[in-house]
Amino acid sequence: MPDFSLHERNLLALYNAGDRFNTIVELNNMASCLTPEEKELRDLTEGVLKKLRQMSDEEFERFADSELIF
């Protein structure tokens, strides 16, 4: 299971849609609205998306259950 940084966990807390698939959808929707000046947020989002795609749904559920911020 990937290790998420504090910033990545905070981003997940903001865009958590209840399951891995819909969280990926929400993050992609948000990323599509970013401007070129928001490179840091884009990079952070892309990193989170990569990690989410590497996880299984079961891993996401265990991760979400173990995190107080979700």
- Token code pair at residue 22: 């819909």
Q: For 3, which DSSP code?
A: P
Q: What's the domain count of the chain?
A: 1
pLDDT at 66 over 60: yes
Q: Indicate whether 11 belongs to any domain.
A: yes
Give residue 65's pLDDT.
Answer: 82
Are residues 2 and 53 in contact, defined by beta-carbon separation less than 8 angstroms? no
Write out pLDDT tens, residues 34-63. 999 999 999 999 999 999 999 999 999 998
The model carries a pTM of 0.90
Q: Indicate whether 14 belongs to any domain.
A: yes
Give residue 67's pLDDT.
Answer: 66
The number of beta carbons lying within 10 Å of the beta carbon of residue 20 is: 20
Q: Indicate whether 53 belongs to any domain.
A: yes
Residue 17: which pLDDT band, with cuts at 50, 70 and 90?
A: very high
**Structural domain range at position 19:** 6-66
